[in-house]
Amino acid sequence: MRPLLLVMLSLCLVGVPAAAQSAPPCQNRQDLPYQVLLCPEVMLEDFTAHGDLAAISSLAFAPDGALYFTSPARRAVYRLAPDGEGFFGEPQLIATLSESPFGIAYAADEGALYVAAEQSLFRVLDGAVQPIYRDPETLWHGELHLGADGRLYVARNTADGAALISLARNGRDMRVVATGLRQVFGFTWQGPTLVIADAAESALYTVESGALVRLAELPAESAPHGIIPYTSEAISAWRGGLLVALSGSWNATTISGYAIVWLSLAQPSVQLQVIPNYYGWDAAALALRRVSFHPLQLMSIAVDANGWLYTALAEGYIYRFRPR
C-alpha cells in the first residue's frame, strides 16, 4: 500500500455525499471529530530534477487508465501505468524532447500524445517524436487540449503577453482564439463556455463575440494554473462546477493560493477552498500546521474515470484525492 499524504490528513469535505467506489482502503484511517470524506494519497514522490524548471507540469489520462505527465526540467514525457491494485507502477520514459514540455493531451482516436513545449508543439506516437509547429516569438506554451472540434488549443506566452491559439492537428491553420492576457498556463471548457486562467491577473476570463470578458476574481497573487470542469457523480457537491489549482504566491509578502478552489460559473464570486479545507484558518496558520500545499507549487490537475482528483506539483509530486 502506498503511503498517504500524512501532512494533509486533516483534509475534509463536510457534508458531501460520496459515491461508492471500488478502491483500496485509506491507510492509517483516522476518524476526526468532523466527517472526513476525502482520502489523500501519494501517486508519485521525489521525482526531482535540477534547475529552475518544474519537475512535473501537466497531466493527461488515457482511456486505459494510464497517466501521462510532462517534465520540463527533464525535457521528457512519462507514463504511469495502473498496477492492478489501485495505484501505479514506476514512471516509464515515453519520449525525450529538444525543448522543455509544459502541456500534454491524449488523442484517443489516434492513440497519440500532443505535447506543448517552449516554442514548439510535438506529436508523439509509439515513441516517435514529430515536430508539428514552431513559433520563435513564443517564450513558452502552457497547457494543451483537444477541443470539441478536434483541433489543438494551446496557451501561448510571449514577451508582450499571452494568448490562446488553435491549430489543426498537423500544426497548420493557426488561429488566435483569445488575446490581451498577461500569463496563461491553464484553460478549459465548461460546456460551450471557454474559461481561461490568467496567472498574472489571478482571474478567470472567457471570450464573447471575439472580446475578452472577465468572469471571476481569484485571491490576489494566487497564480491560478490548472483548471478543469468536474462532471463526475463521485463527489456530487462538485458536479457542474470548476476546480482551479492556485499555484501560489512565490514572491509575495503574504501567502496566497497553494490550494484548490471550487466555483460555479453561475455565481463565480462564491469560491470554496476544497483542498485543503481550512475551517477558517488563515494562510499563515495553514503553513504552520502543514495542511497547505505551501511551499509546493500546484501546476496541473486532472480527473480520472472514477471522478478522483489528481494534482501535479512542480517539485516532483503527484497526489490523488478520492472519496473514502
Q: What would the pLDDT profile of 235-286 be if each residue is shown by its tens digit?
A: 988 999 999 999 998 776 778 899 999 999 999 998 988 887 654 455 555 4
Domain ranges of the chain: 6-323
DSSP per residue over 32-50, as a string?
A: -SS---EEEEEEE-----S
β-pairing verdict for 140-146 and 271-275: unpaired
φ, ψ of residue 114 to 5 degrees: the values are -115, 130
Give the per-residue pLDDT at 21. Answer: 42
> Mean pLDDT across the stretch 98-107?
98
Q: CB of 22 within 8 A of CB of 236?
A: no
Q: Is the pLDDT of residue 1 over 80?
A: no
Q: Is the pLDDT of residue 9 over 80?
A: no
CB atoms within 10 A of CB 278: 17
Give the per-residue pLDDT at 291. Answer: 52
Average pLDDT of every residue of the chain: 87
In 3D space, the residue among 114, 145, 144, 147 whose CA is nearest the CA of residue 131 turns out to be: 114
pLDDT tens profile 112-160: 999 999 999 999 999 999 999 999 999 999 999 999 999 999 999 999 9
Give the per-residue pLDDT at 23. Answer: 61
Give the per-residue pLDDT at 13. Answer: 35
**If phi over 0 gives left and psi between -120 and 50 gives alpha, with beta otherwise, what is residue 307?**
left
Give the per-residue pLDDT at 29. Answer: 43
Give the per-residue pLDDT at 295. Answer: 87
DSSP tag of 85: S
231 contact partners, CB below 8 Å, separation of at least 6: 239, 240
- In the chain, what percentage of residues exceed pLDDT 70? 83
Q: Which three cell numbers stand for residue 77?
A: 514525457
Q: CB of 249 within 8 A of CB of 224?
A: no
pLDDT tens profile 12-57: 333 333 333 456 666 544 433 333 368 889 999 989 877 778 899 9
Which has the higher per-residue pLDDT, 173 or 252?
173
Q: Domain 6-323, what fold?
A: Neuraminidase (2.120.10)
Give the per-residue pLDDT at 250. Answer: 73
Q: Is the pLDDT of residue 99 over 60?
A: yes
pLDDT band at 230 (very low <50, low <70, confident <90, very high): very high
User: Model pTM?
Assistant: 0.87
